[in-house]
């Protein structure tokens, strides 16, 4: 459920017509709904009631500090994968003590920064990383709280670019090596092994892979405890999917019931790292039709939004529902290719999508664009980073300014040897 509905013929974010936001901020722009963020977080938290559950929102899904601050006000911690994300969460009011630092490539400087800030836990993904963390932590005279991420070799049945739990993936300790790595870790200076972590992928639409992975993790925890390990946390990751098109993912309540069945008596806190499930349907990308181009065998709906603004269709062949901001007056529809202005054939959002009859100047909205939308955008083709708007009832605020070509030019420099250089005349 989201809070983007037609009111008096206008698609609105809560009580604010998207057309009014387009007039105020220009297009394209991202718009997020506070009510949807609150609802999705609350539904997920309620599904875990009765467990000693700690929710660490996966910042990579949407890193806008207003979104982060909204979730912080609800009690969320953070799951981060860089020192930059740590700075964003701190700016948004999420304390380091509620932050889990994940990721396969943490540098020594990032480890040092995380330990200085006092992060709750570092999820370590290789023996090589453990060795570096041991050197950093012991050099600082501190103990690093470590959960070792294991790779259960479970197929998440999701897109190949977002599955993380197979042996061929770069994530986690191979299952056959897990116990050996735990035993090496407890003899390393500066390392406090506090738990086991697992994460098998994103946009999961079936509980079967979760059940398989969590069952293996529970068995591992029991074996480790029998060897004297004090396992004080089990981090179950995130990845619960949302409906983009015809998907029918399990509800948070169904997911929570499965977790309680397998982990309810594990005897320690459980950590969760939801991302897309919280923010995916809480955002839309609003764009204006530039041209309706009539081709020989198809019609192109050319928008002012492009793949640099929303790369998921180009990168993952992802589906996003595209709807008219003005509620269609009739049922007349026709197939169109929905494309952007970037000089790439890949700049295509949809092919032969049935759409209402639209004209140049009309507005459309990409639904379910709150996750991996703005956060993955770029300035490719010298295009702006578009503004982001947060709505709360009838109120709205600019929460990320448009980053323009002038801003891009300001951060670039011409080296001294090219200063005042003039092109040479062509010869021959």
Beta-bridge partner residues of 235: 197, 271
Nearest CA to 58 among 245, 269, 235?
Answer: 235
Nearest CA to 396 among 32, 23, 28, 37?
Answer: 32
Calpha distance 66→24 (Å, rounded): 19
Cα 390 to chain centroid, rounded: 17
| Pair type for strands 99-101 and 121-124 | parallel
Furthest CA-CA distance within the chain: 82
Calpha distance 61→277 (Å, rounded): 9
Angle at 146 between CA 126 and CA 214, to 5 degrees: 80
Q: What are phi and psi of 65, to 5 degrees?
A: -70, -20
Q: What are phi and psi of 278, to 5 degrees?
A: -85, -45
Token pair 């035993």 is found at 183
**Tokens in use for 136?**
């950093």
Catalytic: which of 226, 343, 418, 426?
343
31 a catalytic residue? no
Token pair 């599904």 is found at 47
Within 18-143, strands assigned E span: 29-33, 53-58, 77-80, 99-101, 121-124
Calpha distance 46→29 (Å, rounded): 32
Nearest CA to 201 among 237, 231, 170?
Answer: 237
Beta-bridge partner residues of 392: 395
Q: Which residues are catalytic?
A: 343
């Amino acid at each position: 459920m989201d809070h983007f509905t037609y009111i008096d013929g206008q698609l609105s974010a809560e009580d604010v017509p998207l057309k009014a936001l387009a007039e105020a901020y220009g297009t394209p722009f991202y718009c997020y709904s506070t009510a949807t963020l609150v609802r999705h977080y609350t539904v997920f938290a309620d599904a875990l009631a009765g467990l000693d559950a700690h929710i660490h929102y996966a910042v990579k899904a949407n890193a806008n500090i207003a979104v982060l601050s909204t979730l912080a006000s609800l009690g969320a911690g953070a799951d981060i994968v860089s020192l930059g994300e740590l700075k964003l969460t701190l700016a948004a009011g999420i304390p380091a003590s509620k932050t889990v630092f994940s990721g396969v490539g943490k540098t020594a400087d990032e480890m040092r920064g995380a330990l200085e800030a006092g992060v709750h836990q570092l999820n370590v993904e290789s023996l090589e990383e453990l060795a570096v963390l041991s050197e950093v932590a012991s050099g600082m005279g501190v103990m690093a709280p470590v959960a070792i991420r294991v790779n259960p070799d479970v197929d998440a049945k999701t897109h190949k670019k977002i599955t993380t739990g197979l042996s061929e993936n770069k994530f986690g300790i191979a299952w056959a090596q897990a116990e050996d790595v735990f035993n090496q870790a407890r003899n390393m200076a500066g390392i406090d092994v506090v738990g086991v972590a697992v994460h098998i992928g994103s946009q999961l639409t079936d509980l079967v892979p979760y059940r398989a992975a969590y069952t293996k993790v529970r068995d591992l925890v029991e074996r480790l405890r029998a060897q004297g390990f004090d396992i004080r946390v089990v981090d179950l990751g995130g990845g619960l999917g949302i409906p983009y098109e015809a998907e029918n993912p399990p509800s948070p309540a169904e997911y929570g019931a499965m977790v309680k069945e397998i982990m309810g008596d594990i005897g320690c806190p459980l950590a969760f790292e939801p991302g897309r499930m919280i923010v995916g349907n809480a955002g839309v990308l609003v764009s204006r039709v530039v041209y309706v181009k009539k081709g020989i065998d198809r019609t192109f709906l050319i928008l002012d939004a492009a793949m640099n603004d929303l790369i998921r269709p180009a990168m993952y062949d992802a589906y996003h529902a595209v709807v008219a901001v003005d509620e269609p007056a009739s049922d007349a529809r026709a197939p169109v290719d929905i494309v952007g202005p970037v000089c790439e054939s890949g700049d295509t959002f949809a092919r032969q999508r049935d759409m209402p009859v639209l004209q140049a100047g009309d507005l459309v909205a990409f639904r379910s664009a709150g996750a991996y939308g703005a956060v993955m955008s770029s300035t490719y083709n010298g295009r702006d980073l578009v503004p982001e708007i947060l709505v709360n009832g009838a109120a709205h605020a600019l929460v990320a300014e448009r980053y323009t070509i002038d801003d891009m030019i300001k951060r670039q420099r011409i080296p001294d040897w090219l200063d005042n250089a003039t092109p040479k005349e062509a010869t021959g």
